[in-house]
């Protein structure tokens, strides 16, 4: 079993950056969800301020972290399965989560931009979209860590 855990040193940096990006994505998405839910109640000025913070957290932390996670996934995939040959199923799960996930992040950011207005009706959607992304990330880290079937 120890032999199975040995990997070439050249994989370490992309793997580190991939896990770092994924954990930062998880934390930033959870922060957007928290700020988004908190920004739906209480004083209207306070709510708009919290929703504005959710937008900035998304833009400054979530989007770069997501790009790092996805970019380094391709980097390590290219080392582990050159040319895309013999990719096991758990790799496909990563694509299945991150490709719609990228679209989800874009939609979330556009809606979060509009929720900075006091009259915005899209405020309710942002934290729920963030929650969906959190569940999708959990599915991906299950597939990436346990590697079921492969």
Partner 1 sequence: MSLYQWLLFFHVTGVFFLIGGIVIAGILNLAAIVKDRRPSEVAALYTLIRFAVPLIGAGLLLTLVIGLWLVHNVGYGYGQTWIVAAIVLWVVGSALGNIDGKYQRQTGELAQRLAAEGDAPSPELRARLLNPLAIVISYASGLTAFAILGLMIWKPGA
User: What residue ranges in the chain does DSSP mark as E strands?
Assistant: none
3-state helix, strand, coil in the chain (%, to 5): 80, 0, 20
- Nearest to 32, CA basis, from 143, 142, 138, 128: 128
Q: Per rule CB under 8 A, is residue 145 in the interface with partner 1?
A: yes
> Minimum CB separation from partner 1 for residue 25, in Å?
9
Q: Per rule CB under 8 A, is residue 109 in the interface with partner 1?
A: no
Choose, by CB under 8 A, the member of 8, 10, 22, 79 that binds partner 1. Answer: 22
- Nearest to 57, CA basis, from 143, 127, 132, 128: 127
Tokens of 124: 């309710």
Question: Between 44 and 73, how does the x/- string for binding to partner 1 read (CB under 8 A)?
Answer: --x--xx--x---x---x------------
Q: Which residues bind partner 1 (CB under 8 A)?
A: 1-2, 5, 12, 15-16, 19-20, 22-24, 26-28, 30-31, 34-35, 38, 46, 49-50, 53, 57, 61, 137-138, 141-142, 144-148
């Amino acid at each position: 079993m120890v032999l199975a855990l040995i990997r070439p040193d050249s994989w370490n940096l992309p793997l580190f950056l991939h896990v770092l990006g994924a954990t930062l994505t998880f934390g930033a998405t959870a922060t957007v969800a928290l700020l988004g839910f908190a920004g739906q109640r209480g004083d209207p000025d306070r709510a708009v301020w919290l929703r504005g913070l959710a937008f900035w957290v998304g833009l400054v932390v979530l989007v770069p972290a997501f790009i790092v996670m996805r970019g380094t996934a391709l980097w390590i995939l290219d080392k582990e399965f050159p040319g895309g040959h013999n990719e096991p199923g758990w790799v496909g799960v990563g694509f299945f989560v991150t490709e719609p996930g990228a679209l989800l992040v874009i939609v979330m950011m556009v809606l979060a931009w509009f929720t900075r207005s006091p009259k915005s009706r899209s405020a309710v959607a942002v934290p729920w979209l963030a929650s969906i992304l959190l569940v999708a990330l959990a599915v991906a880290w299950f597939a990436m860590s346990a590697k079921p079937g492969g």
